[in-house]
Structure 1
């Protein structure tokens, strides 16, 4: 069992949900996010509900790259080891290219991909020192193919994260370090609550339970929930360009 788990972006949505699930399983948690006040409230809640676990919290902007390394190392020192790191922090939207929104799209790219590299670097340094660990990179079903309009840059960042995960899997093949690429479909969070076109969306509790189960399987790649996103991902990827353009 992976006892000591670090989750970034843990103050809301999927990160918060995963923290609750693993706390109930008796895991020690290292939680970080920009909203330190929300983290502290979650810490109090989890420690009261599960007094046998440790819940450590630290404020962290994952685009402050030096701070990423400091926070990860600090958690490792306090807990003695890190068994699993979930690279979950991210921004859920972008803007159409060429419409004057470069700053917003750059922020999405930096948060979702460059910051994911920093988190992966920090985690892998620790895992290599320990000679053990499980790195979890949160991609998305949208990462299997390019998407138009507001999803263009977002989907590109998630494709990049998926490629990063696969490269790290090649690096760690045969070693006691596992790397998983998790690709969620639509799970209800504040990020997509107002999204009108969110097919097969599931509620947060259902989605988080499926997410934790997929992560704990430590497979190289997992779509969440498995149904219908695993078969749909192959359909999305294999559709001829003209058909895909009309469907999207």
Structure 2
């Protein structure tokens, strides 16, 4: 793949109001890309948009969107078209998790988690990927997680959702690899974001060493800039080792080990 000419790109980022999404926006604006920032918190989006315009002189459009919406892909596509834009790159970054035994979880909140973590990436990919394939250029990055590589007791729905994103994206990589479009999944591990605050407990990351959003974004953009990027990339050497260990151990041992690691009593 030829190197991206970033000033000619219009890149849509979901979950752009904080954390990894905001850092993607800052890094891409520094490279000269035009941005479409998507999240529910319009005040944060507009503040970030103004920061990026002032710092880098790039066009930035802020779109407030509830990613739980049943027609989120069509709604975002319509908003982008109404703004007179053509998206050439998509980063499906938005997502959230829940923590606790499945039998104790609130089903409505789990439904929202499934909508944001699974349905939204599928719908948004469907809304924008066909145009990229037809044009023979562009990229799609779907943010998965280290949780995609092992069973995740106490985060059963989140882990399953991210396993879906990983498998879905790697399949799209194979389907589109001759099209000129770059597709891959990005899997961060524990990262210093608002993730635990939204979940409601630091037990969600089991005391793991935190990577920074800057490190995660650097990993993703280095992979994007490769001549022949693979279908997925894991952020951080320790996380890559952990993913390989999960392939060596039996599913039984892995599930039992993760159940111990995520036990709140273990950290106290």
Q: TM-score of the superposition, structure 1-length normalised?
A: 0.89
- Equivalent in 141, 145, 167 of residue 140 of structure 1: 145
Is the counterpart of residue 184 in structure 1 residue 193 in structure 2? Answer: no
Structure 1 stretches of 5 or more lacking a match? none
Q: 1:27 to 1:117 in 2, by over 3 A?
A: same
The within-5 A match list for 1:1-248 is 1=4, 2=6, 3-51=9-57, 53-75=58-80, 78=83, 80-149=85-154, 151-192=155-196, 195-196=202-203, 197-217=206-226, 218-225=229-236, 227-248=237-258
Distance 1:33 1:147 in 2: 27
1:214-243 per-position Cα deviation (integer Å, ceiling 9, x unaligned): 344343110012x12222201023212443
Kindly indicate whether the alpha-carbon contact (under 8 Å) linking 2:72 and 2:124 is maintained by their aligned counterparts in 1: no
> In the comparison of the two structures, how many residue pairs are matched?
245
Shift of 1:76: 5.5
Q: 1:67 to 1:206 in 2, by over 3 A?
A: closer
Q: 1:229 to 1:67 in 2, by over 3 A?
A: closer
Q: 1:200 to 1:211 in 2, by over 3 A?
A: farther
CA RMSD of aligned residues (A): 2.1
1:183-217 per-position Cα deviation (integer Å, ceiling 9, x unaligned): 11111101136524142322333333333323443
Q: TM-score of the superposition, structure 2-length normalised?
A: 0.83
Task: Provide the residue aligned with 2:264 in structure 1.
Answer: none
